[in-house]
Structure 1
Amino acid sequence: MLEQQLINALSLGCVYALFALGFTLVFGVLGVINLSHGAMFTVGAYAALVFVEQFQLPLWAATLAAALVSGVFGLLIDRLVLRRLRANNAPHLIPMITTIGIGIAVTSAMQGLFGAENKRFPQEVVPESALDLGGLHLTVLELGIILLSFALMAVLLLGIQRTQLGRALRAIAESPKAAWLLGINVEGLFMLTSFVAAGLGGLAGVLIGLSSNAIFPLMGQPMLHKGIAVIILGGMGDIRGALLGGLFLGFAEVMSVAYIGSTMRDAVAFGLLFLILLVRPTGLFGKMQQRKA
């Protein structure tokens, strides 16, 4: 049923968009392609599982706590690593290579702590009730994912476009040096950006973990590939592009599974993305502007 597939695609696309939002936020503000973002996705999923199993927190509280844990991880990466690279004027490739190492280290730590086998949320904490709307089967979990994702995306988009904080972030994205001369706390906003971006990545991990009910150490790696594809499709550093790109990838995957086959899911989704980039190589929202001092 087409309508049911559209609901499934919307739910998956919303998670992709959330993950890509954190990815593109770091690139847009810090100018860094943070390849440890997939590890934050994994950290969020495992953190939620620990809070549910060990601390007996309700699912909503465990989800919030997991996003905070992921955010703190992102903040530590910025403070301990990226800040020093900025201070030493490291070339653009150095932070990217460094975050690859961080991602591998965090993933290995997760495997050492929790083992390589799949983990699952306790059955009683995963909502199983569903709504039947004119033949559509919409689970409470899917509805929660869609509503939460759109709410967070709307808050972030409006915050960037219409608040003083958003204007400061846009100024930093244009030129950190000029923003500093204008009295903007550049380092403080770098910290905030790293925290929020990693928190969104961890939240996406929780939502995927709940949706598939499977958590494993390498779950962030395929998501990282998809996040890179989404921000390239949408236009590097553009929040609107991350939203649309995430939804596009979710719809492409679900429709290919429904009408072609699960084995062709990634081939169809990334093939369509490749064709779009052939027509519009700068992404959906134009060129990435170069920073000027």
Structure 2
Amino acid sequence: MLEQQLVNALSLGCVYALFALGFTLIFGVLGVINLSHGAVFMVGAYAAVQVMAHFDLPLWIGLLFAFVSCGLLGLLIDFLVLKPLRARNAPHLIPMIATIGVAIILNNGVQGLFGAQNVRFPADAVSSESLNLAGIHLTALELGIILLSFVLMAVLMLALKRTQLGRALRAIAESPKAAYLLGINVEGLFYLTSFAAAALGGLAGVLIGLYSNAVFPLMGQPMLHKGIAVIILGGMGDIRGAMLGGLFLGFAEVLSVAYIGSTMRDAVAFGLLFLVLLVRPKGLFGTVQERKV
């Protein structure tokens, strides 16, 4: 049934968009492609599943714990890795390579602590109730994913467009030096961006862990590939593009599984993405603008 597949695609696409929002936020403000974002995503899933399983806590506590712990991890990565490289005016390729090292450390650390086997959330983490509307079956998990993702995306969009903080972040994205001369606390906003981006990635990790019912140390790697594809599709550094790109990839994957086959899932999704970029090489909302130092 097409309507049911569209609902499934919407819930998956919302998680992709949430992951890509953090990814593109880091790139837009710090000018860094943070390749540790997939590992942070994985840490978020582990943080939630461990605290829920060991202390018998509800899902909303797990989500909050993943949000805060991954945000703090993002701050730590910025302070220990990205800030020293910024101070030395390192070329763009150097932070990207450094974050690969961070990702390897996080992946190996989690695997050493918890093993390589799949871990699952408690069976009663999400209500088994479902909603049937005009023949469409909507589970509590799918409804929660869609609502939470859209609320967070809307809050982020409004904050960037309508608040003084958002204007300051947009100024930094244009030129950190000019923003500093205008009296903006550039370094403080770099930290805030790192916290928010990692926290969003952690939430996405929890949602994917619930959606697939599997949490494992390398779960962030395929998500990282998809995140890169999404921000390129949407336009590097553009929040709207990250949202639409995530939804596009979710719909492409689910519909290809439903009507072509699961073995062609990634081939169809990334093939469509390639075709879109042939028409619009800059992405859906990309512009040929160079960041000013």
Other-structure match for 1:61: 61
Contact kept? 1:231, 1:241, Cα under 8 Å: yes
What is the deviation of 1:57? 1.6
Task: Write the distance in 2 (CA, Å) between the matches of 1:280 and 1:27.
Answer: 20
What is the deviation of 1:292? 1.7
How many equivalent pairs are there? 293
The answer as to 2:167 corresponding to 1:171 is no
Matching of residues 186-225 of structure 1 within 5 Å? 186-225=186-225
What is the deviation of 1:288? 4.6
Amino acid aligned to 2:244: L
Specify the SS of the correspondent of 2:131. strand
Task: Write the distance in 1 (CA, Å) between the matches of 2:26 and 2:117.
Answer: 31
Other-structure match for 2:97: 97
Task: Write the distance in 2 (CA, Å) between the matches of 1:38 and 1:288.
Answer: 27
Other-structure match for 1:74: 74
The C-alpha deviation readout for 1:169-225, integer Å capped at 9, x for no partner, is: 000000000000000000000000000000000000000001111000000000000
What is the deviation of 1:55? 2.1
TM-score, length basis structure 2:
0.99
Other-structure match for 1:276: 276
What is the deviation of 1:287? 1.9
Other-structure match for 1:46: 46
What is the deviation of 1:50? 1.0
The C-alpha deviation readout for 1:135-165, integer Å capped at 9, x for no partner, is: 1100011000000000000000011011000
Seen in structure 2, the aligned counterparts of structure 1 residues 172 and 5 have a Cα distance that, compared at 3 Å, is same
Task: Write the distance in 2 (CA, Å) between the matches of 1:88 and 1:57.
Answer: 44
How much is the aligned-residue C-alpha RMSD, in angstroms?
0.7
In structure 1, runs of 5+ residues without a counterpart are none
Contact kept? 2:126, 2:140, Cα under 8 Å: no
Specify the SS of the correspondent of 1:218. coil
Task: Write the distance in 2 (CA, Å) between the matches of 1:127 and 1:11.
Answer: 16
Work out the percentage of aligned pairs sharing the same amino acid. Answer: 77
In structure 2, runs of 5+ residues without a counterpart are none
Other-structure match for 1:145: 145
The C-alpha deviation readout for 1:209-268, integer Å capped at 9, x for no partner, is: 011110000000000000000000000000000000000000000000000000000000
Task: Write the distance in 2 (CA, Å) between the matches of 1:44 and 1:110.
Answer: 11
Other-structure match for 2:242: 242
TM-score, length basis structure 1:
0.99
Return structure 1 stretches of 4+ with deviation > 4 angstroms.
none
Other-structure match for 1:7: 7
Task: Write the distance in 2 (CA, Å) between the matches of 1:127 and 1:208.
Answer: 16
Amino acid aligned to 1:251: F
Task: Write the distance in 2 (CA, Å) between the matches of 1:292 and 1:22.
Answer: 22
Task: Write the distance in 2 (CA, Å) between the matches of 1:84 and 1:17.
Answer: 30
Task: Write the distance in 2 (CA, Å) between the matches of 1:286 and 1:78.
Answer: 26
Other-structure match for 2:24: 24
Task: Write the distance in 2 (CA, Å) between the matches of 1:56 and 1:189.
Answer: 36
Specify the SS of the correspondent of 2:57. coil
Task: Write the distance in 2 (CA, Å) between the matches of 1:66 and 1:100.
Answer: 22
Matching of residues 230-269 of structure 1 within 5 Å? 230-269=230-269
Task: Write the distance in 1 (CA, Å) between the matches of 2:126 and 2:104.
Answer: 30
